[in-house]
Amino acid sequence: MTSSQRPTTYRIAWLPGDGIGREVTEPALAVLDAVAEAHGFFLDVGEHAMGGCAIDATGVPLPDATREACMAADAVFMGAVGGPAWDDQPPETRPERGLLALRRLLGTFANLRPVSVPKTLAGASPLRREIVAGTDLLIVRELTGGIYFGEPRGTVEEAGEGGHTESVSFNTMRYTDAEIERIARVGFEWARRRGRRVTSVDKANVLDVSRRWRALVSEIGASEYPDVHLDHLYVDNAAMQLVRNPRGFDVVLTSNLFGDILSDLAATLPGSLGLLPSASLGAPNQQRCVGLFEPVHGSAPDLAGQGVANPLAAILSGAMLFDALDRPEAAAAVRSGVTGALDAGYRTADLAGHGPTAVTTEAMARCVSQYALRAPSRASLVVE
């Protein structure tokens, strides 16, 4: 597609959500707006309620109006949901349920979570510099199946021993072959664009669903991607290896729950969860699939309202959004802005440590804008 055929305006459904969600996505959107304009296109941003704020306003975490706006958008840009105020909500109306419903609604089964450690940040990691420096991996997490959604689920009363009834609670880890196969292909395709290695993570020594996962991933690897090196790790071992030797990974392919856990673990590598972006995408051949772009971090209610949160995860999620809209130059400019700001020594409180004085969320984002606009041609610098 030539640039002249691409749209010049994209509709973005903005769901700031709860806690620091708005604080990080609002300045991130300012960066995205500025970069878009510099590259000859525009973002038409509409704000919608999701999560705890939506519960307060409408009684439900994902109101119909928000659903419709997301379905009609070109992309959804989200902050974070949840917080102590809604912890006592019944399960059906918890803020997190809104996010899960949205992922299902959009059909975004493939969650991409890149983890890289920029040279300038290797010292910020709690792990030794020589272990983390040069880390560049991509977690491909299945996002709309597995134990997050499996039925049956719930709590029931059952007849227990001695005639008493007892409460029993359960969830179901469940994958169809088709669900495993489509996420496996996403993992292999990404490996082809990167280092041609896939590590599939499961618990095949214990779980039936994992045995099937492993068999299908092996089959697809052998028949469709013989050029990609595949190995398998049990999830417990994968957790250890990610900390011991993160550079040993290229694409980590895994299920919903394991991917959730491993991506927080991987966030310790660059030293802050405030750095990790994500993109949730549907099938590439689907006629129209709206992607969901959000930082990996949560709503961090303890930080909210202080202007100290790190906006880089949100900003880098914006770079992934530009990639999905087929605007790679704008995506590269955003990443180059982030690298420029970090190289120049700017840090929010999460990364400032004992070094330079921390800047505010807004100042960090402004700084990214400046570097992004200054050097739009310095491409893909965050991954080193």
**Catalytic positions, written as ranges:** 148, 203, 236, 260, 264
Nearer to ligand IPM, 35 or 99 (CB): 99
Among 202, 260, 294, 323, binds Mn ion (CB under 5 A): 260
> From residue 27, how far is each of 23, 35, 124, 309, 369 by CA, in Å?
7, 13, 24, 11, 10
Pairing of strands 251-254, 136-142: parallel
Does position 323 bind ligand IPM by CB under 6 A?
no
Q: What is the DSSP string of 124-166?
A: GSSS-HHHHTT-EEEEEEE-SSGGGT-SS-EEEEEE-GGG-EE
Of 65, 50, 43, nearest to 15 by C-alpha is 50
Give residue for tokens 């105020």: 85
Q: Which does 96 bind (CB under 5 to 8 A by kind): ligand IPM, Mn ion, none?
A: ligand IPM
| Closer residue to ligand IPM (CB): 174 or 211 | 174
Least distance CB 260 / ligand IPM (angstroms): 4
CB closer to ligand IPM, 220 vs 273: 273
Residues 75, 325 contacting (CB under 8 angstroms): yes
Nearer of residues 99 and 349 to ligand IPM, judged by Cβ: 99
Rounded CA gap, 55 and 32, in Å? 28
Q: Residue 47 binds which entry of Mn ion, ligand IPM, none, with Cβ cut-offs from 5 to 8 Å by kind?
A: none
Partner that binds at residue 69, options ligand IPM, Mn ion, none, CB closer than 5 to 8 Å by kind: none
99 to 118, contacts with ligand IPM by CB under 6 A?
99-100
In whole angstroms, the minimum distance from the beta carbon of 120 to ligand IPM comes to: 26
Instruction: With CB under 6 A as the rule, give the number of residues binding ligand IPM.
Output: 6
Q: How far is the CB of 88 from ligand IPM (least distance, A)?
A: 17
Q: Using alpha carbons, list the distances in angstroms from residue 364 to 31, 315, 341, 378.
A: 10, 10, 8, 19
Q: Which of 74, 260, 323, 350 binds ligand IPM (CB under 6 A)?
A: 260
Instruction: For residue 188, give the nearest of 136, 215, 227 by alpha carbon.
Output: 227
At 167, list the tokens.
């409460």
* Residue closer to Mn ion (CB basis): 202 or 260: 260
Q: Which stretch binds ligand IPM (CB under 6 A): 69-77, 94-102, 149-157, 165-173?
A: 94-102
Residue nearest to ligand IPM (CB): 96
Tell me, by CB under 5 A, how many residues bind Mn ion. 1
- Could you tell me if 194 and 251 are in contact, meaning their C-beta atoms sit under 8 angstroms apart? yes
Q: Give the nearer residue to Mn ion in terms of CB position, either 276 or 333.
A: 276
Output the DSSP codes for 1-50: --GGGS-SEEEEEEEEESTTHHHHHHHHHHHHHHHHHHTT-EEEEEE---
Query: By C-alpha distance, which of 364, 345, 194 is closest to 274?
Result: 364
Measured CA to CA, the distance from residue 80 to residue 297 in angstroms comes to 7
In the range 283-312, which residues lie near ligand IPM by CB under 6 A? 296
35 binds, among Mn ion, ligand IPM, none (CB under 5 to 8 A by kind): none
Q: Which does 250 bind (CB under 5 to 8 A by kind): ligand IPM, Mn ion, none?
A: none
Interacting residues toward Mn ion by CB under 5 A:
260
Q: Residue numbers of the site for ligand IPM (CB under 6 A)?
A: 82, 96, 99-100, 260, 296
